[in-house]
Structure 1
Amino acid sequence: MAYSRNNDATAADINRDRLFATGTFKNVWQGRYISGARTGQACVAKEFKSSSVFEDHYFQEELNIIDRAQYIIDNWHAANIVNRRILMSRPQIWQYRRNGRKALVEPFILNFQKFNSNTGWIPNSRDSWCEAMQALSHFSYHITGGQFLLCDLQGGTHGDVFILSDPVIMSASYSCGPGDLGPKGIHAFFRRHQCTRFCDTRWIKPRSSAKSEFSKRRGTTMVSRVPTRQTRLSLARRTR
């Protein structure tokens, strides 16, 4: 895939002595690849906070979201809207050799920042990348005929390239995981969306005058929340 960033590795050492970051739904641990083309480079392992982390459903759902986001990004580039590249960071499901626990592993992203949330939050300081990301969200709704909205856009800039990681997709059918707030979430997002110079006036928007049911917040709003549980462990790519 031309517009993606991949592991290109088969094993990694993950430092479990210190939590690197935590989000609404996942904990993040940092490590380094020890086998493959990226040997020596930094990576991250993302684990669900749910006690049901051994269930394939949660991981497969995450990969399905990434696949749909990739489709949107590929179409974004085909439309030639901006002259900069947006790459989708594509994690893989790996397993710890010691305990069999699963994690989503992907290359580490420098200069991490967030450009919008699934409730329509955007940062106060807005540069050209921020404007492009708001347009990407709007474009996603248009290109899918109003069925999906790519949002919660975050990642890191590397010159004229942006690496997108861990996005949310909201749908008309609540089919895209816990960050999918459905049609009401899509309406809430667009009530707060302000088109930028990269948006096209022909792009569709949802028609609704209803008051938003979701408060605007920087973090990811989930339709359900699940609890937490838990050395240096070795991760290997899961073969399927």
Structure 2
Amino acid sequence: MGSNQSNTTKVIGSTSEWVEFEDDWFSQGVSRYAYKGTFHGNARTEGERCVVKVYKDEYLVHLKDYAWKVDDRVYRKAREMAQLFNARYKPSTATEFVAPEFTKVDKRATFYFLGFIPFERNVKGKIAGTRDNVSNIIPANASIAVERFLEGDYVKYSSNTGYVNPDFPAPTLAAFSHFTYHASNGEFLVSDLQGVYNRQGFCLTDPAIQSGGSELNAHGPTDLGKYGIVKFFQTHNCNKLCKGLKKAKISKVTPGDKVVLDNVLQNMPSTQSSTTYTYQLNRKSGLPNDAVEHVQNNLTLDAVAECSETDEPGSDSNSDDQNENKWFKSLGGTIFRLWKLISWSR
């Protein structure tokens, strides 16, 4: 599978299953390194490929077990929403999220021996192209998430800042994100959709949840809160699956907060596929963190239905003039048809 698999995990949950994984990560985010691994200890999955995501030591220092627990909560909410979405729309291509299992690093072959002299193994460092001691990259007893390997071409369909992949627009997934805001009544929105498309449909991993509450980062470092929700609807194009779904509408914001909101939104990269982290909101906008958090705490978003089930996306279902005009046209057509029947009967 690549580099030497010298690392193992503790058993997963109450099962006998465990994982062996490589020395060198193939991808990394702000909080985890991703390694290729293999399942063992279970006849059903023996030898199958998986992905092991090791939480970085510097990330765990502050969050400890909260780090993996918040990720577990994000996955659970995303999976629940996917089940509701599939049940409601019954799309030809289902949407699902992988179900990670959480455990810890067990044995690490930390040393190799030259004669009788032990040397700590070198593995891929924190930056690509560098090497470091294994103990600095895969800490003893580190928390990890284990996911089954996704077969197919991996695609980043959307980001948490309004980006939509122009080569793979995936209207079903765009509608899914919109649906999560509607179904949660504005409490959150699932975004940052990535994964593979195969015979089962869309199989996704590493989603982000944008919180509609008063706290940034409530769902981990990719939770951009109300900024992420507003940005999503700024770039989202509704499709037929979005009929009847509520949208976020700013109902209360002070002039000062509006300046901060607009500044942050302008600096959220909707044309880039990369994931944005909460701490980057103030860095990219050049605003104090207190100002960014103040808007999250005080901005009021309402979940408002802007389209009815029978209206085309984008139509103004609240327009009395438009509805009245439709009624008169319908009435006029009925009268005309009755007049023709009476005329023919004579």
Normalised TM-score (structure 2):
0.58
- Of residues 205, 213, 222, the one that matches 1:165 is 205
> What residue identity is the alignment partner of 1:167?
P
For 1:107 and 1:39, locate their aligned partners in 2 and report how far apart those are by CA, in whole Å: 12
Query: Which secondary structure does the structure 2 equivalent of 1:61 belong to?
Result: helix
- Who is 1:155 aligned against? 195
Change (3 A) 1:166 1:9: farther
1:160-187 deviations in Å (ceiling 9; x for gaps): 4221111001011232111111112210
Cα distance between partner residues in 2 of 1:64 and 1:24:
18
* SS of residue in 2 equivalent to 1:53: helix
Q: Tell me, in whole angstroms, the C-alpha distance in 2 between the residues paired with 1:24 and 1:52.
A: 8
Q: Cα RMSD over matched residues?
A: 2.2
Q: Which moved more, 1:103-112 or 1:215-224?
A: 215-224
For the pair 1:113 / 2:155, whether they are aligned, the reply is yes
Residue 57 of structure 2 contacts residue 142 of structure 2 at CA under 8 Å; is this kept in 1?
A: no
Asked if residue 20 in structure 1 is aligned to residue 74 in structure 2, the reply is: no
* 2:10 aligned residue: none
Mapping of residues 32-181 of structure 1, within 5 Å: 32-36=38-42, 37-53=44-60, 55-98=64-107, 99-110=140-151, 111-126=153-168, 130-173=170-213, 174=216, 175-181=218-224
Could you tell me the percent identity over the aligned residues? 25
CA, structure 1 residues 180+9, in 2 after alignment: closer, same or farther (shift >3 Å)?
A: farther
Does the 8 Å contact 1:9/1:38 carry over to 2? Answer: no
Query: Which runs of 5 or more residues in structure 1 are unaligned?
Result: 1-6, 226-240
Residue 269 of structure 2: which of 193, 207, 215 is its match? 215
Which stretch shows the higher mean deviation, 140-149 or 41-50?
Answer: 41-50
1:224 aligned onto 2:279: yes
Across the two proteins, how many residue pairs are aligned to each other? 216
SS of alignment partner, residue 198 of structure 1? helix
How far off is 1:70 after superposition?
Answer: 1.6
Check whether the contact 1:9–1:39 (CA below 8 A) recurs between aligned residues.
Answer: no
Partner SS for 2:247: coil
Deviation of residue 140 (structure 1)? 0.5
Runs of 4+ displaced beyond 3 Å? 208-211
Q: 1:118, 1:185 within 8 Å by CA — same for their partners in 2?
A: yes
Answer 1 or 2: which has greater helix percent.
Answer: 2
1:67 match: secondary structure: helix
- Structure showing greater radius of gyration is 2
Post-superposition shift, 1:152?
0.3
C-alpha displacement of 1:72: 0.7
Gaps of 5+ in 2: 1-12, 108-139, 251-257, 281-346
Residues 24 and 220, structure 1, Cα contact 8 Å, conserved in 2 = no
Q: Distance in 1 between matches of 2:78 and 2:240?
A: 22
C-alpha separation between the residues in 1 aligned to 2:239 and 2:32? Answer: 31
Instruction: Say which is worse superposed, 51-60 or 176-185, in terms of deviation.
Output: 51-60
How far off its partner does 1:219 sit?
A: 1.1
Displacement of 1:9 in angstroms is: 7.0
Change (3 A) 1:88 1:131: same
Q: CA deviation at 1:80?
A: 2.3
Label 1:160 to 1:34 Cα distance change in 2 as closer, same or farther (>3 A): closer
Which protein has greater RCO, CA pairs closer than 8 Å, 6+ apart? 1
Alpha-carbon contact 2:163-2:269 (below 8 Å) kept: no
